[in-house]
Structure 1
Amino acid sequence: MATADHIKALIRSHSEGDEERFYAIALQVAAQAARQGHTKMAKELRDLVDRAKAHGEPPAQGQKTKPVPIVQPRGELAGLLTASFPTIRLADMALDQSVRSRLERILLEQRQREKLRAHGMSPIQKLLLVGPPGTGKTMTASALASELGIPLFTIRLDGLITRYLGETAAKLRLIFDAIQQTRAVYFFDEFDALGSERATKNEVGEIRRVLNSFLQFLEQDDSDSLVAGATNHPQILDKALFRRFDAVIEYGLPSADISEQVMRARLALLDTSKVDWSAAAEAAEGLSHSEVTRACEQAAKNAILQQHTRIDTGEVVEALRERRAVHR
């Protein structure tokens, strides 16, 4: 449950009137309770924080809002992992229903993992997320961590991969030791840098040895953590990798309905009564979720700078066309 550091941090933030910091630390206490199996207590704490935030006031000007992470990698791991404590929920994401259903199944099995293990079964724990850039793979890792009340550790490939013989594999072992010791979502972004096909002619011997080590560590892992890899280039991954993951989830460019959901959510603070969403969705065809989001942000900024809060179809479509031009 709450450690002495948590309690001191809670008292300090309360005495300083730092409401956002207080809530962030309370969520960290909930995350620790969840890691220790106290799921009911963790849920109650999160519900209390959500209700308090819903009835509270926005932070005063100059008030600190950055969370104070209690769980942080130390020593050699500090150069290999970046810790964060996401708050995005799965319901906040605009996803294809088939992808959403698979993620909900993963969350169900993780929340009921003790029940599954009591019957000799293991929950889904190793995920490979594949698809074009900007389609929600990184956000998925954040949402899974948030939904489960555990930290997100992103592996820093620049710190992991070195040119010295054996050093990368040794660092990889440190990461998998951490995976065993601290329950979290461990996210390998741009996974193709680590998991490229061993038979590739241009591949160096060190990377082949690293991939062999990764495959062994992944197969031996029986922790409570979630291990997720994401790649935009699944075609260059070693075929043996696909057998080691419990689930491979494919992300695609958004449909017209999903694009509309993204645009409605991003423009919700403006008057959109003059927007023809069908025309806007047609203009968004071929763009990723993140590109649609950025186009909407540009359109919203244009409206705000012109000192009006109403946005029309032409402004949205023009921003989408500009984004498409940048994309090309």
Structure 2
Amino acid sequence: MSKERVRFDPKALRGFTIRAFTHFGVSEEDAFQAADVLAYSDEHGIDSHGVARLKTYVDLLKAGRINPKPKLKVIREKHAVATVDGDNGLGLVVGPKCMEMAIEKARMHGQGSISVCHTNHYGAAGYYPLMAVREDFIGMSMTNSSKGVVPFNGIDKMLGTNPLAMGFPTGVEPTVLMDFASSTVAYGKVEIAWRAGENVPLGWCLDDQGRGTTVPERMMQGGALLPLGSSKEGSGHKGYCIAGIVDLMTAVLSGANWGPFATPFAIDSPRSEKQVGKGIGHFFGAWDIEGFRDLKVFKSDMDAWIQTMRATRHLPGGPKVRIPGDPEWAAYRIRMKEGIPLQLPVVRDLETIAAALGIPAP
């Protein structure tokens, strides 16, 4: 394993991703959309959800486990809410289309909520609220995922990392964006440490015997992630509750597989023998601020909120207080100038994809 990284031109990675998806019959429009979701992660410093995930999408498309040409279907609807069957399409395509539906309902009714079943991994949760923010709406997204996290006080994996994201429009200040897993850390960050040959902090993971471990391999080989907060002292029950909320809103509400039955996002992971729904689930929400307050006044107050938080005294010798979203905006400014830094194992994966599909490597 190595800490070395190679920088790539953002446009080159986007183009490569588009060619990889169209190779499997994904339309140009859908491939462009899917590439945009992955590029968002790489360009904003979310290394666990960008092209590092492309090989898994390619493997699943090649094996026929993802439908390259899904036909989304509204299976139930009532005013501002609806449930959509994603027809086992790329979550990177199903997600944006369903977020647009939530936004359209918010235009009509002041708010919109879309639950989705029969879909799969949709990339970084934070991509979707920003779609609503661009319309001056508040946006939210969440998704369940395959089991990898123990419930509070448990040893067995029962829940996914189940992320939740919300975005809020502002005036002159950058968008406020909260995007976090309900586990102490996302699985992808453990993978990043593993690729770099590094240990992880105690409190992230358990080994296969339920003991805390700092060795990524011990978690990845039969172990599990801990819920946000980890322990009783860290209020791990709160992370468990957040994971439960996400699982119920995305899967039980939509008719997707919930809890330990969620479909794995991995070619080498067999599906659970028991299926309690279709695919995995997402949930998208959008709210028209004008239904609550004058938009300009709200944005001004958002700016004041941000400026007040930034002015907070910080710990001696520590960094200044930042606003949710600041790390992403800072990473974007750097990476769009200096390129996307990819770990060597990810680079090798892209080279493998290029050779297998007969397309130029980025």
Larger relative strand fraction? 2
Larger relative helix fraction? 1
Same fold (TM over 0.5): no
Range of TM-score over shorter length: under 0.3
The alignment's TM-score, normalised by the length of structure 1, stands at 0.27
More relative contact order, 1 or 2 (CA 8 Å, 6+ apart): 2
The higher radius of gyration belongs to: 1
